[in-house]
Chains A and B, each alone.
Chain A
Amino acid sequence: MKTAVIVFPASNCDRDAQDALAQVTGKAPAMVWHKDGIIPEDTDLVVIPGGFSYGDYLRCGAMAANSPVVKQLKAHAERGGYVLGICNGFQILCETRLLPGVLIRNASLHFVCRPQRLSVESANTAFTSAYSGSSTVTIPIAHHDGNYFADDATLDRLEGEGRVVFRYAAGENPNGASRDIAGILSDNGRVMGMMPHPERAMGGNEGGADGLGVFLSLLNAA
């Protein structure tokens, strides 16, 4: 699997994503500086990492969504390439309209960083096949704007089409997200955005090892 990580100004989980991809694929991903705008042609998976692109100024992900690299990102997605947006990456994917809905300020108004229990809603996706058999996983979250919001019709469609991949465990919604949504898929099932940080849960640190499944699933799929 050939992978790439897009680096925006003030992305700050780009190295973590780089390490996670290298750990799983055995190869270093291409690190793509947003201004250069070039995603290597035969890339299977593009990761948009967490962080505070453009300082979250204006609105999370809004300025990154207008960066030179987004043209090639959209082309990659249109070709059916895989895209994983984590945290700020999820926010950027919503701003580029590659995913529906928007992420607004946490209901508590506070930034929240904690180990988060999630229910895996479907193990029948390119991003979650490795989780088959495990219904609940714990992956850390760290965000100020993780409150997923969309109109009811969109939410119904996402649920009806099996595109809600992760939900916050019942009663443990950390940010007020509609219908406890923590991660969703595009309609072709190739683009996923999620607020929790699987790259921080690859084993050997406080985050645990439950995030590994996302990357192992992609390795199988690509």
Chain B
Amino acid sequence: MPDTSAILAHLTATQEEAQGLEHGIKADEWERLVTRLERKPNLVELGIYSVMWSEHCSYKSSRRHLSKFPTKNARVIQGPGENAGVIDIGDGQAAIFKMESHNHPSYIEPYQGAATGVGGILRDVFTMGARPIALVNALRFGDPSHPKTRSLVAGVVAGIGGYGNCVGVPTVAGETQFDAGYNGNILVNAMAVGLADQDKIFYARGATPGNPIFYVGSKTGRDGIHGATMASAEFSEGDEEKRPTVQVGDPFTEKLLIEACLELMATDAIQAIQDMGAAGLTSSSVEMAASGGANGEGIGVVMDLDKVPQREEGMTAYEIMLSESQERMLIVLYPDKIDMAKAIFDKYDLSAEVIGETTDTGHLVLTQFGEVVCDIPVAPLAEDAPNYDRPWNEPPKRTPLDSAAFDVPADLAGTLLKLMGTPDMASKRWVWEQYDRHVMGDTIDSSQSGGDAAIVRIHKTNKALAICSDCNPHYVSADPYEGGKQAVAEAYRNLSAVGATPIAITDNLNFGNPEKPNTMGYIVKAIEGMAEACRELDFPVVSGNVSLYNETDGTAIPPTPVVGGVGLLEDISKSATLKGAKPGDLLVMVGGIGTHLGATQYARSVLGLKGEALGTPPAVDLAVEKRNASFIRDLIGAGLATAVHDISDGGLACSVAEVALASNCGAIINVSPELQGFPASHLHAALFGEDQARYIFTVAGDAENALAQFAEARPDVPMLMLGSITDASDGLTFAVDVRKDQTFSVGLDALRSANEDWLPGYMNTVD
């Protein structure tokens, strides 16, 4: 037995402003703390304040702007504020989903950082009573030539696979991009989607006084102490030394925890439940107390930390409260259900202990070695957390890029091959082949076909969820308002492209240091742009995460607000992918001929432009988005489309190439300026421009009349006959000047190798 009196003296010693600063509590926040508490805190209390008031937990820089998001529509059951968002998908069922970042830990320790990111987001979803049915991840790495990039890619991908594969939830979609702007701060955003019955959804709120607090899952160790605080500060050289603040994942225990929790949830034992994520036992207990009470008035909590299952000896109250050990949950049980609950966790060999109870005091009271080591009111920790109106500067406006100032390249075939092989456009097979995409048996379409959105059947039904993740940070850098709009619109488009009705989004807002007015300006404008798109498209935000301070030595990441979209397919037989095009099909485009090269893949990779010179991003007309998406959904619903793809990165030419690769077919595409009515000097923009709200689709050759009839009823939607689908051996042939009989052609094998070879070649290179 250690000398408990010395430990207690250390824990209960009164702290001063200097110690506050060491805990990331700034001078004004110290004032606020002491005023609210009416005394100075002791060490345990200071630790608790520091994590609860960290950016990561309190959203103190973004909260007032996040309130601009629309969060409701006819299908939203639970918007932001709980562990995850909940939407009604009919037949008494609900989809529960959220996206969350694990950026800082993944840079320091890529395998464990990414693995625990997956574990954390899964817990957010099954805490609410949902069985997780799909995982998605949005990854952004530094320049491929940066010395750390290769090992970070390898570690992150292995970590995501190592965790997701073991727990048995399919990883069905994702994105992987590279840019020098992420050299010092990679982004690892993970999204989980779960399925629950609407009458079996569980919340953190609603606990009432006098009930036992039940701790389940892994034992508490010293790992991850102050992870939330680390995630709320900039990096500087040598921060790899912060490794001890990265948690270690145990997917085996997570899998058991999922099964045990779902088994307990099938009974009526749980009053409230919260996973122990960032700031572990502190945030879970404080959040349940703050949102407790029959009317959400808040309750108190008393916990005896000696009863907390511990992995190592001699842990102090401070360490126990701040540990971010993984795979733990906190449950408020009904008192007569303790034995039954213990029996369920015993079946799975998981720790389960009653460690305290809910009270009516409104205070968080903690004891260790029989002494009170913390007694603070709950309300100031949660609702009363700082809420800043950070000063911000209007982001600079760029001059639009003048396409006409750049010649149409002589070698268009080579240009197409080059684009298809750029790090951002290249096939990510090397990544997604390391993820189990098929476990649970409901994956209808995944990354495997390079589609716009994954399609995951709702078990034992003929319905499915469509799931995607999207952001183009180059657009957001160029114009955060339009770029924010675009991220939401692209998710809307991707869900529509498989035939699904878009329902709601989760977001993961990744930015630099909000205390810098220039960075804050991007945060504000991106949120406003996203909010406008969400409003106009009836596509609200139901959950999300903000990751700030993604900045190293004063350089921030490109602003990256990632959108995770979820839509509903009422009938799987009425869906579309990239895979179904057949020789003899007609190839059709919705939306006009491309005109916009600013901030595009072409401008970056072919013209070699950077920064300001890239110009403005394509504008998003939300009314047109809505109209064209509805056209595409109806077309798929009518059973006319054999394949559908949106036109995004790399423009029309790359979109056709992706369909050809997925369907293993060739195509003849007419983009002759003469025939399609645009100046020949704009041929590059017609082929590679990224104008928004556009799609290509194929229909069977004998369905031409049916298509004409379908289109006749929608005269306001611009539809252009582009050509036809041919045999794979014919490759792609683009007619670029009908008068002079000029064409350029690319063989399918050359295209496939341009697209497939880059990433494995890169990863298998030894420095």
Residues of A within 8 A of B (CB): 9-10, 12-13, 15-16, 19-20, 33, 35, 50-52, 54-57, 110-115, 140, 142, 144, 197, 199-200, 202, 204-207
Contacts and interface: CB of A to CB of B under 8 A. Distances in A.
A206 B444 contact: yes
B317 to A, nearest CB: 31
Contacts of B582: none
Contacts of B437: 113, 142, 206
B347 interface: yes
B766 to A, nearest CB: 14
Contacts of B202: none
Nearest to A20: B441
Given A20-B441, A55-B250, A200-B438, 18 more contacts: A9-B349, A12-B439, A35-B347, A52-B251, A54-B252, A55-B251, A110-B433, A110-B434, A111-B165, A111-B434, A113-B435, A114-B448, A142-B438, A144-B165, A206-B445, A206-B446, A206-B448, A207-B438
A205 B444 CA distance: 4
Contact of B439 (A13, A56, A144): A13
B167 A199 contact: no
B347 A199 contact: no
Contacts of B757: none
Given A16-B440, A202-B441, A205-B442, A113 B433 contact: yes
Contacts of A110: 158, 433-434
Contacts of A111: 158, 161-162, 165, 434-436
A113 B434 contact: yes
B166 A55 contact: yes
B269 interface: no
B165 A52 contact: yes
B457 interface: yes
A9 B441 contact: no
Interface in B153-172: 158, 161-162, 165-168
B315 interface: no
Contact of B438 (A52, A55, A205): A205
Contacts of B158: 110-111
B439 A16 contact: yes
Contacts of B442: 205
Given A12-B439, A16-B441, A55-B250, A114 B348 contact: no
Interface SS, B side: mixed
A145 B457 CA distance: 28
Contacts of A50: 439
B252 A206 contact: no
Interface residues on B, range: 20 to 34
Contacts of A206: 437-438, 443-446, 448-449
A205 B433 CA distance: 17
B444 A12 contact: no
A174 to B, nearest CB: 9
A12 B438 contact: no
B256 interface: yes
B343 to A, nearest CB: 13
B255 interface: yes
A142 B436 contact: yes
A199 to B, nearest CB: 7
A10 B252 contact: yes
Contacts of A202: 441
B174 to A, nearest CB: 13
Of residues B158, B161, B166, which shows the largest number of chain A Cβ atoms within 10 Å of its Cβ? Answer: B166
Contacts of A114: 433, 448
B252 A205 contact: no
A205 B572 CA distance: 10
Contact of B255 (A52, A115, A144): A52
B664 to A, nearest CB: 13
B347 A113 contact: no
A200 B441 contact: yes
A52 B252 contact: yes
Interface string B420-441: 0000000000001111111111
A142 B165 contact: yes
Interface in B237-264: 250-253, 255-256
Contacts of A35: 347
A172 to B, nearest CB: 13
22 contacts: A9-B348, A10-B251, A10-B256, A15-B441, A16-B439, A16-B441, A52-B251, A55-B253, A110-B158, A111-B161, A111-B165, A113-B436, A142-B437, A142-B439, A144-B165, A199-B441, A202-B441, A204-B457, A205-B442, A205-B457, A206-B438, A206-B444
A163 B229 CA distance: 58
A55 B257 CA distance: 13
Contacts of A56: 166
Contacts of B166: 10, 12, 52, 55-56
B440 A113 contact: no
A206 B442 CA distance: 8
Contacts of B444: 204-206
Contacts of A140: 438
A86 to B, nearest CB: 12
A15 B168 CA distance: 11
A144 B441 CA distance: 19
Contacts of B440: 15-16
Contacts of A200: 438-439, 441
Interface in B391-439: 432-439
Contacts of B438: 113, 140, 142, 197, 200, 205-207
Contacts of B251: 10, 52, 55
Nearest to A57: B252
A215 to B, nearest CB: 13
Interface in B329-383: 347-349
Nearest to A199: B441
B693 to A, nearest CB: 29
B753 to A, nearest CB: 17
A33 B256 contact: no
A54 B255 CA distance: 10
A8 to B, nearest CB: 11
B176 to A, nearest CB: 15
Contacts of B167: 10, 12
A154 B166 CA distance: 31
A119 B520 CA distance: 59
Q: Nearest 10 CB-CB pairs, A to B?
A: A12-B168, A55-B252, A52-B166, A142-B436, A10-B255, A16-B441, A200-B438, A111-B434, A206-B443, A111-B161
A36 B8 CA distance: 46
A89 B766 CA distance: 36
Interface in B438-487: 438-446, 448-449, 457
Nearest to B165: A111
A190 to B, nearest CB: 26
A102 B348 CA distance: 28
A202 B442 CA distance: 11
